[in-house]
Homo-oligomer: A and B are copies of this chain.
Amino acid sequence: MNKNNPGEINLETFSCPIPFAHNEKIMLGHGSGGKMTHDLINRLFLYYFNNSSKEITTNDASVLSTTALRFAMCTDCHVVSPIFFPGGDLGRLAVCGTVNDLAMVGAKPLYLTAGFILEEGLNVSVLEKVVQSMQNAAIEAGIKIVAGDTKVVQKGKADQIFITTTGYGEIPDDVHISGDNAQPGDVVIISGSMGDHGIAVLTARGELGLEADIVSDVAPLHDLVANMLSMTKNIHVLRDPTRGGLATSLNEIAIQSKVGIILHEEKIPVKPAVRATCDLLGFNPLYIANEGKVIVIAPSEVSELLLSVMRAHPYGKDAEIIGDVLEEPKERVLSRNPIGSTQVLDMLSGEILPRIC
């Protein structure tokens, strides 16, 4: 076991160097700022998040170095229920969600902060699994967890664990990616199948009696994006279609860029089990959350190049060109089916799957 490489830790057998007792619970004192807080920080958070360059300290803030001229910041709260689901868990989601938001402006993810709101009575072993998973995801994403905070609220005033992560990433000089950059004539590419995450979390709840073999796609997309940018900087928009799904994300882009977008329905990858579950429940998979997929909008002359780079990456192997950016109808997303009929795809109204991320 190597302290500097917790990525190799076996989640089933590993425990902290001074292990917490079996069934030890989080108490209000763990959020007091006193001895119990320091104990939790030292035995759990610092142990897992420590990294060789010692950015994480017990000071009020971490001091970091940079030579970049432009950087990105983003933040995401994570309240997914249940905490563990096929293909991922709250910890992996909390890291990947923020890493992906950085990647969506072309930033190289470097530093992450993590704020934990814990419910009194939570099993420390549950927190430990989530923290281990965060560290594993951080290693995969090449991001360092540099600062954190923990608060504990009374039993019944939160639901187990909420994690808010904030990311810092540096942007190369010649990268200019933004939701308002889509141009008529651009094509729309998606990196893989739609709806896997939302349906995986939904089936993990067990409320519907469904037993579909659906796994969340939660994954860090920084490497896929870096590969694309290494081939061409001529990318106008990147966005990960999380809450609200592909349809909502494309509406956001259409509004920001004041363009129309038309999708070729039959080109959009949806796994059969996801489609079957959606059909059963009356959901449209284009409104279901993804956590490891990226929408790419780029000039048509680079589309085949981007498609080949994406398909060569494990997180982009099912990439497809799925649509076009048009001058009109402005701020609208249309979907055309194989027999040529066209419908408007609006933003998500209301809420179909709460607490999916």
Give the B-binding residues of A (Cβ under 8 A). Answer: 27-29, 31-38, 57-79, 100-102, 104-105, 107, 111, 113-117, 146-154, 156-159, 162, 164, 166-169, 171, 178-179, 239-240, 242-244, 248, 252, 256, 287, 289, 346-352, 354-355, 357
Which of chain B's residues have a CB closer than 8 A to the CB of A37? 243-244
Q: B76, B107, B156, B179: which contacts A58 (Cβ < 8 A)?
A: B179
A72 touches B63 (CB 8 A): yes
Listed A/B pairs (21) with beta-carbon separation below 8 Å: A28-B354, A34-B244, A57-B178, A58-B179, A61-B104, A61-B105, A62-B72, A62-B73, A63-B72, A67-B69, A73-B166, A74-B147, A75-B149, A76-B149, A77-B149, A77-B164, A78-B151, A79-B151, A151-B357, A156-B156, A162-B162
Which of chain B's residues have a CB closer than 8 A to the CB of A239? 60
Which of chain B's residues have a CB closer than 8 A to the CB of A76? 115, 149
Max chain B CB contacts within 10 Å: which of A33, A239, A289? A33
Which of chain B's residues have a CB closer than 8 A to the CB of A252? 38, 58
Please classify the interface of chain A as helix (H, G, I), strand (E, B), loop, or mixed, using the class held by over half of its residues.
Answer: mixed
B162 touches A117 (CB 8 A): yes
Shortest distance from the beta carbon of A85 to any chain B beta carbon, whole Å: 17
Q: Bound state CA distance, A287 and B354, in angstroms? A: 40
Apart from A29-B351, A34-B350, A62-B72: 5 A-B pairs, beta carbons within 8 A: A32-B352, A60-B100, A66-B69, A77-B150, A79-B151
Residue on B nearest A349 in the bound complex, by CB: B35
Q: Bound state CA distance, A239 and B58, in angstroms? A: 11
A62 touches B38 (CB 8 A): no
A101 touches B61 (CB 8 A): yes
B105 touches A148 (CB 8 A): no
7 tightest A-B CB contacts, nearest first: A33-B243, A34-B348, A33-B244, A61-B74, A166-B166, A164-B164, A75-B113
Q: Bound state CA distance, A49 and B37, in angstroms? A: 33
Which of chain B's residues have a CB closer than 8 A to the CB of A100? 60
Residue on B nearest A33 in the bound complex, by CB: B243
A248 touches B33 (CB 8 A): yes
Which of chain B's residues have a CB closer than 8 A to the CB of A28? 351, 354
